[in-house]
Amino acid sequence: MLSGIPASPGITMGEVFLLDKEEIGIKKRRLEKTEVEKEIQRFENALQRTNEELQVIKERIGKRIDPEQTKIFDAQLLILEDEVIKGEVERRIREEKINAEWIYKKTIEKTVNSISSSRDEYLKERVYDIEAVSERLLSNLLGKRRIALDKIKRKAVLMAHSLSPGDLVNIRKEKISGFATEVGGGTSHVALLAKSLGFPAVVGLKDALRRIDRGDFVIIDGDRGLVILSPTEKTVYQYEKRQKDLLKQKRKLFRLKSLPGETEDGRKIEIQANIELIEDIEEALRYGAEGIGLYRTEYLYLAKSELPSAQEQKKAYQTIVDKMYPNPVILRTFDLGGDKFAGEKTDMVEANPFLGWRAIRVCLDVPELFKVQLRAMLEASVRGNLKIMFPMVSGVEELKEAKSVLDQVKEELESQGIGFDQTIELGIMMEIPSACLMADSLATECDFFSIGTNDLIQYTLAVDRGNERVAHFYQSFHPSVLRLIKQTVEAAHRNGIWVGLCGEMAANPLATVLLVGMGIDELSTSPLSIPQIKRIVRSVNFSQAKEFAQKVLETTDLQHIKRLLEEDYKRRFGAEEIICLY
């Protein structure tokens, strides 16, 4: 059995079709002075050809899925058309007199290395988009033919090192029932597209292809992130039964989408969505989101090598606010490392970027950047459903300084007669232990907290979950983490503000009753998780949940805590319905 990352829900089984992608070999070649302009023209011709291919792919996929989802390819087109990258390549060809594919590859590698250092998993997964575009362009430069997946002759399960959104366009459901890859993440565009197309998928299966041969029979479990090799008859029977049960369960859950997140005894828990792209809004609404609890504004950087303008930002924010109105939308200010803001000014490298110059720290050090974003947010706030949130706040001084910048922008808008929501709510991410320990003081300076459990766990337990040697220390239900969450909730309520939670814990069905019992007012999760979390909230009695949470919080043994959560879930819904335990 192979364990990876759940990318798209569902179960499928069948014989393996192995996709072997030939690695593109690029040789460095010196140019004669007379060859330079021809080389630049060759590069521009390849750009045009790649653009045309992506436009055709976008048109084809738009006939199979919601047209909104085709905006994935808009992001790839923006990467391809980036004037900064194009200008850099052409400048270096002229100055260094080196062949286009070599220069382009080196330029893209620099961009990829910069993004890969981000602490934001979503940002890091955008690397796959950049690599997909660059691979397509390099193939066109070198005159290499791409693999035609639509030529597969019989139905199979696809296994590959990697796939691009463009590859998925060529997959037909009558030929491929699902796929698994060695690389990729759960929020990559391949994962998002797989969900839209209905392909069960698992990604992040490191070195899996070494253990699999073409024609092997496997089961892909997209719910748990598993690939079962050569399953027994009993396992096949169990999975076939689970397929039927899951289909029934999903139909029941989907009927909850229009109902509010409310406990049996009337306590309201807002169930909202985390989104990264504007097109995610349609999915959030489809699954019953009561608002956007976290919009990661970093996505505006992903397809550009330069800072987005105030107008570009305002347009993006306004679109989200308008589509969600009257439901609330929380925009988190840029949560990126200083390398992204510095651009060409520096090749800064940090020994530990997770603890470095990033997020609110960069914004306060580069106020002109911060002001542009805050201005765009305020101008998009006139309808009254937009809220602003600062990430990675570590203490009161930092928050006061950020508020001072916000006040300056408000004064500038007022002096220019530009309208904005005068009562706009301001919140902060509670993702650093120091902030949780100072929660009482911080609560007097803002309107809400949103607990970011991903980083809170990492910082509290001193563990980099991306490091395989210590990843097992990353435990969502560690007693210290739970106590910090409870302490933060109590501090917020003592000071009359509400508190949400927007980390991965919000999507874990085992955590829901515990979080409700702790007093969380809002849960923000991926759109696909909303029906399940809403169902659990609606099955809970708040008074009983508080008693259960107190019992868990009094426990100091991690394994005992896990048993308590699992037993409670089984008692409510049965063991068969637990899709993802931890």
CB 331 within 8 Å of CB 295: yes
Active-site entry in 363, 436, 446, 502? 502
Given the structure tokens 């060529």, which residue do they identify? 170
Distance CA 177, CA 299 (A): 31
Q: Within 13 A of 418's CA, how many CA atoms are on the CB side?
A: 13
Q: Which of 199, 168, 202 is nearest to 185 (CA)?
A: 202
Distance CA 83, CA 288 (A): 39
For 356, 460, 466, the CA distances from 117, given in Å and listed in that order, are: 11, 21, 12
Q: How many residues does the chain have?
A: 582
493 assigned to active site: no
Given the structure tokens 């305002």, which residue do they identify? 314
Q: Cα(first)–Cα(last) distance of the chain, in Å?
A: 18
Quote the tokens at residue 199: 């392909």
The DSSP call for residue 553 is: H
Distance CA 167, CA 289 (A): 31
Partners of 273 in beta bridges: 292, 525
- Helices 36-62 and 127-142: crossing angle in degrees, nearest 10, is 120
Sequence-distant (≥ 6) Cβ neighbours of residue 377 within 8 angstroms: 313, 317, 331, 333, 386, 388
Q: 533-552 burial by CB neighbour count: b if 16+ within 10 A, else e?
A: bbbbbbebbbeebeebbeeb
Beta strands in 473-521 (DSSP E): 498-501
Residue 267 burial (CB count, 10 A):
18
Is omega for the bond preceding 326 within 30 degrees of 0, making it cis?
yes
Give the 3-state secondary structure of residue 220: strand
189 assigned to active site: yes
Over 44-105, what HEC string results? HHHHHHHHHHHHHHHHHHHCCCCHHHHHHHHHHHHHHHCHHHHHHHHHHHHHHCECHHHHHH
Given the structure tokens 């653009």, which residue do they identify? 51
Quote the tokens at residue 429: 């991410």
Residue 96 burial (CB count, 10 A):
15
Distance CA 489, CA 435 (A): 12
Burial of 164 (0-12, 13-18, 19+ CB in 10 A): buried
Quote the tokens at residue 212: 């699999």
CB 281 within 8 Å of CB 292: yes
User: Pairing state of beta strands 522-525 and 498-501?
Assistant: parallel
Q: Which residues are catalytic?
A: 189, 502
